[in-house]
Amino acid sequence: MDILTPSNGTFVNGERLSEEGMLSTLKPLRSGDTLEFGVDIRDDDGKVLYNKVSTTVTVEIVLGPALSPVTSTVNPTGTLKSKTDAEAILSIIADEKTISLEAAETLKKIQSSFDYIEKSALSVGKKKDDLPTDFSKTIAEMNERLAALKDVVDQHNIDLKSYQEYRPQESAEIKSDMSSAVEELKTAITDLKNDTEGDFAKLREDLAKQSKEFEDKLSAAKNDLKTQLATIQVKAEAEEKEKQKLQSSIDSLKAECSNLSGSLNAEKSKNEKLSTQIQSLTKTVQDQAKSIEKLRLIEHSPVKQNNLVAYMVI
């Protein structure tokens, strides 16, 4: 089948049989085995529509009642309603192909078993017609099942062929739908651009106006700040001069106080000397007063007068 190619290797019970993009080697399958593989689904031009579609199959060989043909689920004349429908159909086709391959492999195994049974029977000197009745019945039942499996395989091959014939039409419809969707998207983008162009122009104009107003306010604020800084600088310089003047006055007062203190100390020393002189003079006056008093007493006494004369002579 051209639309299916292995994409991520093949695994049986978790064991890799092939690398990515390579066909796997032949390996006998047993009942209960799990087969895992992935496929890329491509169109007629080889373009990948669906990448690495994962598929898991569990092998079951049932020796039960005869199998009946399976009715195909593919509708070649139907119309796909969505991408999901296409994916579902492709998944079903992939599953049916897997079942067909497994059925063919099972047929080969059964045929090998028949050959082995026939050879074993002939090796002991018996012919096929001489086999026991119950064994012949088993072979007949298995032949019926083989026929049923062949019918299933044939039906799936018919379905696959029908799908391959319908696939170009389906691809064309998908491409047409995608082209229409792209055109609608382009139209919507153009309409949106036309609708928003005026809004964008007004927005740009408003932003430019707001930016101009902000720049004017910022420039005015800068000028005002410069003026305030200049005023503060003038005041600071005046205050500095006043401070220097005040400091000079303080220094002058300190000098005057120092001079006054020196003068006071000198005056105090002078006053102390004057006080000492006054005290000395007072004592002298007092001594003279006493002497005068003695002289006066002597003057009024004859004896004392003689003594005074003698005193004075002495």
Summarize pLDDT for 107-125 with one digit per residue, the tens: 677 666 656 555 554 444 4
CA–CA gap between residue 290 and residue 286 (Å, rounded): 6
DSSP code of residue 47: -
Task: Please give the span between the terminal C-alpha atoms of the chain, in angstroms, as a whole number.
Answer: 181
Chain-centre distance of CA 8, in angstroms? 33
So what's the pLDDT on residue 191?
78
Helix (H) or strand (E) holding 243: helix 133-299
Beta strands in the chain (DSSP E): 4-12, 15-18, 34-42, 48-58
Find all residues with CB under 8 Å of 228, minimum gap 6, and list them. none
Q: Rounded distance, CA 229 to CA 141, Å?
A: 113
Instruction: Establish how many alpha carbons lie within 13 A of residue 72's alpha carbon, considering only the half-sphere containing its beta carbon.
Output: 21
Which pLDDT belongs to residue 265? Answer: 86
* CB-based contact 11:138 (threshold 8 Å): no
φ, ψ (nearest 5 deg) of residue 117: -65, -45
How confident is the model at residue 15, as a pLDDT? Answer: 80
Query: pLDDT averaged over the chain?
Result: 71
The pLDDT, as a whole number, for residue 232 is 92
Please state, in angstroms and rounded to a whole number, the distance separating the CA atoms of residues 177 and 180. Answer: 5
Q: What are the pLDDT digits (tens) for 187-201? A: 877 877 777 777 777
15-18 sheet: strands from edge to edge: 15-18, 4-12, 34-42, 48-58
Residues 82-117 as b or e (16 or more Cβ within 10 Å = b) = eeeebeebbeebbebbbbbebbebbeeebeeeeeee
| Global pTM exceeds 0.85 | no
Q: Which two tokens stand for residue 262?
A: 């020196």
Q: Tell me if 49 sits within 8 A of 104, measured CB to CB.
A: no
pLDDT digits (tens, 9 = 90+) for 20-76: 666 666 666 676 778 777 666 666 677 776 666 666 766 655 444 444 443 333 333
**Model pLDDT, residue 151:** 75
- Give mean pLDDT in consecutive 10-residue pieces for the chain, a chain of 314 residues: 48 76 66 72 70 66 42 39 57 72 72 59 46 57 72 73 66 72 80 75 85 89 91 91 90 87 85 86 85 77 53 47
For residue 132, give the DSSP letter: -
> So what's the pLDDT on residue 171?
65
What single-letter DSSP state applies at residue 2? T
> Who's near 179: CB < 8 A, 6+ residues apart?
none
